[in-house]
Amino acid sequence: MKILCAYNANIDAIYKVNGLQMSSFAQDYGQEISVRLQNPPGSISLIPDLFAGLFLCMQNGTGAEWMVRDEEVFQWLKSSFLEDSFMRIGGNMGIMANVLSELGASRVIPNIPNPSPLQMSFFSGRAIYVPSEGGLKRISDVHQREPSEDSQEMIHFVFDFKKGDSFLLLGKQMSVPRENRFIATYDPLNFELYIDEEFSKYALSNIGDIDGALIAGYHMLRETYPDGSGYKEKLRRSLEQLKAWKDRNSKLHIHAELGHFYSAGIASDAFSGLAPLVDSIGINEDELAMLAGIYNIDSAGILEMDALSIVRASAALCESFGIRRILIHTREFVISVSPTSVSESVKTFEALHFGVKCAAAFACTGKLADRNTLLAVASGIDESDPGRMQIAKLEDNIPIQYRENGIIGEYRGYSVCAVPTRLCIHPVSTVGLGDTVSSAIFLRELELGS
Ligand code: GLC
């Protein structure tokens, strides 16, 4: 399989949070943090903003990503946390490209916004090839631009916290209800939805020979940029690129993976722009709830991970926008909703199981490996009980055509495939699991010819 991947990649510096240690780091900023807990800034301009964002997430067990606006705070993050972090490829596109490469795609061709030696060193060497001088080069052979004096690595600090950890919030001892992560993102390039020229040229000239494209990064777009421009032009450039690919190769299968949008306007423009162009859209329950809210679709039950509510809202989105498939991945289960036949759904069902297993093994070990190794690791990981319960509830509410560790059913003319996830008790990190599940499913479906 030859697959294009665009647009966002960065370095993730994953830092394992120790609640009490973080509370002592934050001690000097007590008053400032308290003000920000009442009125969260949503981005990081000063150090107390970071602690407010992190503690809010830890308090509720939720995830969030806030942009670092100030270069000095970024330097402080590096000097305070980088040494004790472990670094790996980040960004939805970067993660998905590595998954495809390790799982056995023959050629994975990424758009790399910042090909610094450090970032390049985290890409999989197995099947990733970079467009260069009209052809493709193995990642190890690419001339890697040294970062210039004033340029920075695009590092996202991923603060991973564990369920049950304790921390002090305004002098009160708190306990974390669920593992999750808070991301502090410094990243001027990916905010632009940067498209590399060599990538664009290669993709357009060779599109007839490509099987699929995985795209992501739209949630990084901002309302305004330092040069005064807005996001609309950057979004338009990308949508035109996808359209040109489809015009030249109607068989090209495109999956768009969305992320957490900080603005409803950008989410709505990206979603409605992508819907007619792509074959499938991947989201989690937070993103589904946001889209449902934007389009006045009933969102009750989505954040509580009620599978029937998720199916209902997804089918409504498919109907309103003519989307060929919505893939919803949650911590407990993965569901595909699409207007396809049962015979095609059997392949989707198999692909969902495959994706869930790959993601579980990745969560457990923190590393990718070839598919046999990942599947062997996954066979020892238990299925989610809440996931199984939700799927049993679906069985009681919609007509079912097939069941075996999950279901294929029907909801208002849409085919519904649902499988429980597999949950590792002590995940190395939870960041990038949605990308891993989506890209593994995408590859398996291409292989099965659905
Ligand atoms: C977002 C973050 C990135 C992380 C990715 C995981 O793109 O910016 O740091 O690796 O999500 O899905």
Same domain, 302 and 163: no
Residue pointed to by tokens 């989610």: 384
Q: What is the pLDDT of residues 253-286, one digit of tens each?
A: 999 999 989 899 999 999 999 999 999 999 999 9
Residue 406 lies in a domain: yes
Ligand 1 atom 1, closest CA: 91
Query: Could you say which DSSP state residue 290 is in?
Result: H
Please report, as a single letter, which amino acid is at residue 342: V
User: How many angstroms is it from 92 CA to the middle of ligand 1?
Assistant: 5
Residue 235 lies in a domain: no
Residue 384 lies in a domain: yes
Same domain, 167 and 58: yes
Q: How far is CA 4 from CA 237, 248, 370, 388, 411, in A?
A: 17, 15, 20, 34, 33
Residue 248 lies in a domain: no
User: How many angstroms is it from 15 CA to the middle of ligand 1?
Assistant: 14
pLDDT of residue 250: 96
User: How many angstroms is it from 180 CA to the middle of ligand 1?
Assistant: 13
Q: What's the token pair of residue 159?
A: 């603060």
pLDDT of residue 146: 55
Q: What is the CATH number of the domain that holds 82?
A: 3.30.1110.20
Ligand 1 atom 2, closest CA: 91
User: How many angstroms is it from 93 CA to the middle of ligand 1?
Assistant: 9
Ligand 1 atom 11, closest CA: 91
pLDDT of residue 425: 86
Residue 38 lies in a domain: yes
pLDDT of residue 343: 76
Ligand 1 atom 5, closest CA: 91
Q: What is the pLDDT of residues 213-235, one digit of tens each?
A: 999 999 999 999 989 999 999 99
User: 213, 438 in Cβ contact below 8 A?
Assistant: no
- Alpha carbon of residue 437 to chain centroid: 9
User: How many angstroms is it from 315 CA to the middle of ligand 1?
Assistant: 27
Does the Cβ of 102 fall within 6 Å of ligand 1?
no
Does the Cβ of 65 fall within 6 Å of ligand 1?
yes
Name the domain count of the chain: 2
Domain termination residue (choose one: 167, 185, 203): 185
pLDDT of residue 149: 46
Query: Could you say which DSSP state residue 224 is in?
Result: B
Residue 129 lies in a domain: no
Please give the Cα distance from 419 to 329 (Å, whole number). Answer: 10
Does the Cβ of 91 fall within 6 Å of ligand 1?
yes
Residue 139 lies in a domain: no
Ligand 1 atom nearest 185 alpha carbon: 8
Spatial CA neighbour of 445 closest among 85, 208, 103, 13: 103
Ligand 1 atom 4, closest CA: 91
Does the Cβ of 92 fall within 6 Å of ligand 1?
yes
Q: What is the pLDDT of residues 339-378, one digit of tens each?
A: 988 778 999 999 999 999 999 999 999 889 999 999 999 9
Taking residue 168's Cβ as centre, other Cβ atoms within 10 Å add up to 17
Same domain, 160 and 300: no
| DSSP string for residues in 359-409 | HHHHHHHSS---HHHHHHHHTTSPBPHHHHHHHHHHHHHS-EEEESSSEEE
Q: Which of the four pLDDT bands, split at 50, 70 and 90, describes residue 97?
A: very high
Taking residue 412's Cβ as centre, other Cβ atoms within 10 Å add up to 14
User: How many angstroms is it from 24 CA to the middle of ligand 1?
Assistant: 27
Residue 291 in this model has a pLDDT that exceeds 90: yes
Average pLDDT for 369-393: 95
Does the Cβ of 355 fall within 6 Å of ligand 1?
no
pLDDT of residue 413: 94
User: How many angstroms is it from 399 CA to the middle of ligand 1?
Assistant: 37
Does the Cβ of 90 fall within 6 Å of ligand 1?
yes
Q: What is the pLDDT of residues 393-422, one digit of tens each?
A: 999 999 999 999 999 999 999 999 999 999
User: How many angstroms is it from 7 CA to the middle of ligand 1?
Assistant: 12
User: How many angstroms is it from 257 CA to the middle of ligand 1?
Assistant: 11
Q: Which of the four pLDDT bands, split at 50, 70 and 90, describes residue 152?
A: confident
% the chain with pLDDT above 90:
88
The residue range of the domain holding 78 is: 12-88+153-185
Ligand 1 atom 12, closest CA: 432
Residues 6+ apart with CB under 8 A from 425: none
Q: Which of the four pLDDT bands, split at 50, 70 and 90, describes residue 144?
A: low
Does the Cβ of 160 fall within 6 Å of ligand 1?
no
User: 402, 346 in Cβ contact below 8 A?
Assistant: yes
User: How many angstroms is it from 91 CA to the middle of ligand 1?
Assistant: 4
User: How many angstroms is it from 146 CA to the middle of ligand 1?
Assistant: 23
Work out the mean pLDDT of the chain and round it to a whole number: 94
Please give the Cα distance from 173 to 320 (Å, whole number). Answer: 47
- How many Å is the Cα radius of gyration of the chain? 21
Residues 6+ apart with CB under 8 A from 351: 440, 441, 444, 445, 448, 450
Spell out a b/e string for 334-371, using b for 16 or more CB atoms within 10 Å of the CB, else e.
Answer: bbbbbebeeebbbbbbbbbbbbbbbbbbbbbeeebbeb
Residue 145 lies in a domain: no
Please report, as a single letter, which amino acid is at residue 194: Y
Q: Which of the four pLDDT bands, split at 50, 70 and 90, describes residue 10?
A: very high
Please report, as a single letter, which amino acid is at residue 15: Y
Rounded to the nearest 5°, which phi and psi values hold at 87? -105, 145
Ligand 1 atom nearest 434 alpha carbon: 12
Does the Cβ of 429 fall within 6 Å of ligand 1?
no
Query: Could you say which DSSP state residue 312 is in?
Result: H
Please give the Cα distance from 276 to 436 (Å, whole number). Answer: 24
Residue 147 in this model has a pLDDT that exceeds 70: no
Does the Cβ of 185 fall within 6 Å of ligand 1?
yes
pLDDT of residue 402: 95
Q: Which of the four pLDDT bands, split at 50, 70 and 90, describes residue 20?
A: very high
Same domain, 313 and 169: no
User: How many angstroms is it from 227 CA to the middle of ligand 1?
Assistant: 25
Q: Which residue from 86, 93, 95, 187 has its CB within 8 A of the most atoms of ligand 1, so it is best to mutate?
A: 95
Residue 316 in this model has a pLDDT that exceeds 60: yes
Does the Cβ of 435 fall within 6 Å of ligand 1?
yes
∠ CA 253-139-4, rounded to 5°: 10
